[in-house]
Structure 1
Amino acid sequence: MNTAELRQKDVAGIQDEIKALQKAHFGLRMQKATQQLSNTGTLRTTRRDIARAKTILAEKQAAK
């Protein structure tokens, strides 16, 4: 997800996005553990997307 799209969302929307990304990351980790994941680069991108969303969430909460 793009940072511009995340910044347009409210706090609840960002929290929902973080939960969805964490669930997706867990699924990818399980696929990697069972040797079903062919593109391991997706783990890196989802991890960074989670960090990006958490950073924007922290910025919005600090602004209040």
Structure 2
Amino acid sequence: MSFHFTVSGLTRNLIHSLGLDHEPTLRSLTPEQSLLLDCYLAGQIPDSAWSDYVFEMPELEKHAQVRRGLT
């Protein structure tokens, strides 16, 4: 049996367990933004179009990263 961890994942878990991750809370998305995010994460919006949306609404990318678990 073997376990595989990434260094960034272990570091993130350590920082979280120590309570040192005090990032500001993300602002709630509007229903339209939530639908847009769901469609993007489902692969229904191409990356080129997504980058246009993110340019107009940068908070979308932060929410996408949180939903993917990349924070």
How would you bin the TM-score normalised by the shorter chain? 0.3 to 0.5
> TM-score normalized by structure 2?
0.31
Q: Which has the higher contact order (CA 8 A, sep 6+)?
A: 1
Structure with the higher helix share, 1 or 2: 1
